[in-house]
Chain A
Amino acid sequence: AQTVTQSQPEMSVQEAETVTLSCTYDTSESDYYLFWYKQPPSRQMILVIRQEAYKQQNATENRFSVNFQKAAKSFSLKISDSQLGDAAMYFCAYRRNTGNQFYFGTGTSLTVIP
């Protein structure tokens, strides 16, 4: 079974600084999809960014970018120019190429210090 590990239960960053959240996963598959979700205090899950495993280029969405290392099975999220609104729980997720099953990490709670 696929497992997703987020080794940082809590992280903090100074406003306007950069922070990186780590995520590793275990799989024997070669084709899959990876996602980062944000869950603010409202508890609404919001998609931050996604990455297809077959793409070598790292995905970017404005201030959010990933460092996808397929061989190392690592998928870290970098938040640049952190803003107060970035404070939330962040979940890394893995989706198989077949079927609809998603696997979530345990989450990282990000605090942004003004």
Chain B
Amino acid sequence: GAVVSQHPSWVICKSGTSVKIECRSLDFQATTMFWYRQFPKQSLMLMATSNEGSKATYEQGVEKDKFLINHASLTLSTLTVTSAHPEDSSFYICSAPTAWLYNSPLHFGNGTRLTVT
């Protein structure tokens, strides 16, 4: 089955620094990837849609200058949390559908737990 690899699994950083999270589709090409944020015991909140070769589409209320998304290839999307603050601490998950199959489910990475101290 389709595999999405997300790295790192967890990261601790100091306030004011930047953190990059990588999301790779290992055995399929992902023209679109989604980035979600999840608070404890809550649902997934879509942050942005990453499209290969073009600018990401951000959901309302998500700061595009703070959460930089790059989708430079068909297998890699990155999310950079810039100038991180404690309120950015959360669980971030990437996912991708198999390209152009509308009955394709989302394939998820195993998430990144970010702690900003």
Residues of A within 8 A of B (CB): 33, 35, 37, 42-45, 47, 50, 52, 89, 91, 93, 95, 97-98, 100-102, 104-107, 109
Contacts and interface: CB of A to CB of B under 8 A. Distances in A.
- Chain B at the A interface: SS class: strand
- Chain A at the B interface: SS class: strand
B111 A47 contact: no
Nearest to B41: A109
Nearest to B38: A43
Interface of B: 32, 34, 38, 41-44, 46, 49, 91, 93, 95, 97, 102-103, 105-106, 108, 110-111
A44 B43 contact: no
Contacts of A101: 49
A93 B103 contact: no
B102 A95 contact: yes
B43 A91 contact: yes
Nearest to A51: B103
A91 B97 CA distance: 17
